[in-house]
Amino acid sequence: KAKKLSGNQFQLYDPNLEDRSLGSVELENDLYKALQNDELTVVYQPKYDAMKSRMFGVEALLRWHRPQKGIMKPKDFIPLAEETGLIIPMGEWILKKACEQGKEWHNQGLDHLSVSVNLSPQQFNQEDLVANVKTILEETDLPAPCLELELTENLIIHNTEKTLRIIHDLKDLGVKISIDDFGTGYSSLGYLKDFPVDTLKIDKTFIDELPDNPNNAAITNTIITLGNSLKLNVLAEGVEKKEQLDYLTDNGCYLIQGYYFSRPLKAEDVIHQIYIR
């Protein structure tokens, strides 16, 4: 099975290797066509306030209806989209789409609903990000405080001064900022006092084994306490079970996102899921 290279170097022979690289060329070609061929859609995962038993926002998530292959999830194409730079037009597309949809919900009377959009590091570092967000808000007429941008910690630690300026510029537009997958990055907590963020989203990996895993429980409680002391909202991601929900609400975290309440939905289904049954 192992193929001898030279000297003492060996490489494991992988019969799938050729297929796989062929597959990725095909994937790349298909991905280039996805936007212009209208193959991308957005699903919206509700975020609930368990205290009020009602939805307060939704997160926009990309889906790609790949011809002959079915629905592709972000993990199967976002890395490639980032590598190829395609994430920039895709990111702009979903931002616009989500803001349009947000405005439509407002027009239907759901004017408390906020819409969040994930920003990739590439997008964040784009020169005209702030101008683009501003234009999209103007074009769609969505009130800026109803748009939330989700950033990851790893994005925030790099390039601190420039990052700080961009976040301040975004905040000046009036949009909200949340830190996604909080607790999984390489960040020092120090940045939290400098960056004007609104919400910490506790990563699903910590929520997964609640309430039994004492380490996860300790981390979760620490994040909740930290968020409360800094006057930030704290939301738990990936809540799938009643026991997790109970643990979180018992410990002061009421903002909940996860399959327990709702999977990501088509836009038209959101209005039917506003209240927790």
Alpha helices by DSSP H, listed for the chain, are 17-34, 74-84, 87-107, 121-124, 129-140, 153-157, 160-173, 191-194, 204-208, 214-229, 242-250, 267-270
Q: How far apart, in Å, do the first and last CA atoms of the chain sit? A: 56
Query: Does 153 help bind Mg ion (rule: CB under 5 A)?
Result: no
Binding mask 95-124 for Mg ion (x = CB under 5 A): -----------------------x------
Query: Does 238 help bind ligand C2E (rule: CB under 6 A)?
Result: yes
Helix (H, G, I), strand (E, B) or coil at 269: helix
Q: Check if the beta carbon of residue 120 is closer than 8 Å to that of residue 91.
A: yes
Query: Considering the complex, what minimum distance in angstroms separates the CB of residue 204 from ligand C2E?
Result: 6
Strand partners, 42: 62
Q: Which of residues 56-85 bind ligand C2E (CB under 6 A)?
A: 61-62, 73-75, 78
Binding mask 194-233 for ligand C2E (x = CB under 6 A): ----------------------------------------
- Contacted by 130, from ligand C2E, Mg ion, none: CB < 5 to 8 Å by type: none
Q: Cα angle at 32 between 26 and 37, to 5 degrees? A: 110
Binding mask 239-268 for ligand C2E (x = CB under 6 A): xx----------------xxx----x----
Q: Tell me which residues touch Mg ion (CB under 5 A).
A: 118, 150, 180-181, 237
